[in-house]
Amino acid sequence: MKVLGVASEVQPLIKTGGLADVVGALPPALLAEGVAVRTLVPGYPSVMAKLGKAKKLHRYPALFGEAATLLSAKVGSLELIILNCPAFFTRKGGPYDDASGTGWADNWRRFAALSRAGADIAAGLLKGWRPDVVHAHDWQAAMTLAYMRFGAASTVPKVITVHNLAFQGRFDADVFAALDLPPKAWGVDGVEYYGGIGFLKAGLVSADAITTVSPTYAGEILMPADGMGLDGLLRGRADHLHGILNGIDVAEWNPASDSLLAKPFSHRSLSSRTTNRRMVERSFALDVDKSPLFIVVSRLTWQKGMDLLVDALDHLVALGAKIAILGSGDQPLEGGFLAGADRHHGRVGVRIGYDEPLSHMMQGGGDAILIPSRFEPCGLTQLYGLRYGCVPVVARVGGLADTVIDANEAALAAGVATGIQFTPPDVASLRRAIERAVALHGDAPQWAAMQRAGMKADFSWGRSAARYAALYRSLVR
């Protein structure tokens, strides 16, 4: 079976979050299921720089007014199709925002162009290759399904995966004329969304199947609290909605062979983690001691509950623990953490920025990873933590609820606990969860048992890839 994936991010070429990890790791896992994926991605500078040899597949004299080409390239085991359109994608700054953090004004046009190219491929643009199924990820690719439905590829099965309902791709109604869709595409059953245009919404109404990245999140988004305005639409399409848990790339994230660690280790050599811990303490100017070391690797945002953590910092330090925080995001939150580091030299360490190698070292050296998210579609850092013996302390929401086994009395007695869950996501609960973690950490054999249980759990893509493959097959008649 041939699948066209369409996405704005793919590890290891361009990444702002977990979307890239998933788009990079799912295709190799699907190969074992007899599914060959080619993934269409924008030719951002970091993508073009890492391409190597690429073959020209098609030339657009004017795609939404700009010259563009489709290139084919293989990166590792990934089969990619790149939309090389310098006018849209060769820019300084991020994939969605300029260097000052303001969204690009023409994002609607940039991602309509990506989606248009996806729909053209679905309709048979490329000689000798036409997909049996098209699978779009998030709002940036969602319009692919609308262009298919209202164009020449309407019968090709369409799948959309929602990685985060908070990002919807909403634009003013007046761009409709430039989207090059037929008039009937305007309306509640099309791209219209609360009087404007919703790219994600258009994908959701056009898809034959909707997936999201954990079973619990699939239920949460049917309710107003987490539905972000789309819960009504999703309830209407609940028969077509599937929650399929993300896996992780177990080759990239393998503590026994990870070259980004100072010292690799396995569940049989947990003491080797100390070497990585020293590196983390040094990198964050933290005291070198045996007190519990919490870590955070995260976007610093409201979704991630980072304001709760800012408020819990003093309590964490008062309990005798210390913390290393790596991330970037909202300025007040960055400021809150930096102020915490000023107040608590040696106990609170902060690195504002994005640092992949350091994130591996932190998972390999930290005692516990804190994830107090208000909502979390799946979450990957708790999975990396589990595999690296860095015990997750998480809010009981979304994929966090589905992947961490809380250390309640029964789970501890049965030896199956892998972390700590707390609810609701507020400061008081977070504080209590930190207290529980510190107390459990004081019981060294108990703590090591939790680390080992997490490290032995299987979060490889196998099971979930089989579910995607079965879904594709059910749609191909």
Which chain residues interact with ligand ADP by CB under 6 A? 17-18, 21, 297-299, 326-328, 354-356, 359, 378-381
Residue of 13, 19, 82, 165 interacting with ligand GLC (CB under 6 A): 19
What pairs with residue 228 in β-bridges?
A: none
The helix/strand/coil state of 66 is strand
CA distance 331 to 338: 10
Residue whose CB is nearest to ligand ADP in the complex, by number: 18
Pick between residue 206 and residue 211 the one whose CB is nearest to ligand GLC.
Answer: 211
Pick between residue 206 and residue 381 the one whose CB is nearest to ligand ADP.
Answer: 381
Site for ligand GLC in 383-422 (CB under 6 A): 399
- Cα 416–Cα 421–Cα 423 angle in degrees, nearest 5: 150
Q: How far is the CB of 258 from ligand GLC (least distance, A)?
A: 20
Q: Before 12, cis peptide (omega within 30)? A: yes
What does the block give as tokens for 305?
A: 């509950």
Given a contact cutoff of 8 angstroms between Cβ atoms, the answer to whether 365 and 184 are in contact is no
Helix H segments across 90-198?
A: 107-122, 138-149
Site string for ligand GLC, 111-150 (x = CB under 6 A): ----------------------------------------
Q: How far is the CB of 327 from ligand ADP (least distance, A)?
A: 4
Pick between residue 17 and residue 196 the one whose CB is nearest to ligand GLC.
Answer: 17
Pick between residue 249 and residue 281 the one whose CB is nearest to ligand ADP.
Answer: 249
Question: Which among ligand GLC, ligand ADP, none contacts residue 213 (Cβ within 5 to 8 A by kind)?
Answer: ligand GLC
Q: Does 95 bind ligand GLC (CB under 6 A)?
A: no
Q: Which amino acid would we find at residue 98?
A: D
Residue of 246, 363, 382, 421 interacting with ligand GLC (CB under 6 A): 246
Question: Which among ligand GLC, ligand ADP, none contacts residue 393 (Cβ within 5 to 8 A by kind)?
Answer: none
CA distance 447 to 417: 10
CA distance 26 to 31: 9
CA distance 200 to 233: 12
Pick between residue 104 and residue 354 the one whose CB is nearest to ligand ADP.
Answer: 354
Number of residues in the chain: 477
Question: Which among ligand GLC, ligand ADP, none contacts residue 354 (Cβ within 5 to 8 A by kind)?
Answer: ligand ADP
446 burial type by CB count under 10 A (0-12 exposed, 13-18 middle, 19+ buried):
middle
Q: Does 296 bind ligand GLC (CB under 6 A)?
A: no
**Minimal CA–CA distance to 233: which of 189, 171, 187?**
189
Cα-Cα-Cα-Cα torsion 210, 223, 330, 424, nearest 10 degrees, comes to -130
Given a contact cutoff of 8 angstroms between Cβ atoms, the answer to whether 430 and 372 are in contact is yes
Given a contact cutoff of 8 angstroms between Cβ atoms, the answer to whether 56 and 22 are in contact is no
Residue of 164, 359, 363, 421 interacting with ligand GLC (CB under 6 A): 164
Residue of 27, 292, 340, 379 interacting with ligand GLC (CB under 6 A): 379
The span of 14-22, 229-237, 272-280, 313-321 binding ligand GLC (CB under 6 A) equals 14-22
Q: How far is the CB of 140 from ligand ADP (least distance, A)?
A: 14
Could you tell me the CA-to-CA distances from 349 to 130, 338, 371 in Å, in that order?
51, 8, 17
Question: Which among ligand GLC, ligand ADP, none contacts residue 107 (Cβ within 5 to 8 A by kind)?
Answer: none
The helix/strand/coil state of 236 is helix
Question: Which among ligand ADP, ligand GLC, none contacts residue 365 (Cβ within 5 to 8 A by kind)?
Answer: none
Give the DSSP H or E segment for 274: helix 273-283
Question: Which among ligand ADP, ligand GLC, none contacts residue 386 (Cβ within 5 to 8 A by kind)?
Answer: none
What pairs with residue 297 in β-bridges?
A: 326
Q: How far is the CB of 191 from ligand ADP (least distance, A)?
A: 26
Question: Which among ligand GLC, ligand ADP, none contacts residue 212 (Cβ within 5 to 8 A by kind)?
Answer: none
CA distance 200 to 160: 9
Q: Does 378 bind ligand GLC (CB under 6 A)?
A: yes
Only one residue has tokens 């359109």, namely 85
Q: Does 211 bind ligand GLC (CB under 6 A)?
A: no
Q: List interacting residues with ligand GLC (CB under 6 A).
A: 17-19, 22, 163-164, 213, 246, 376-380, 399
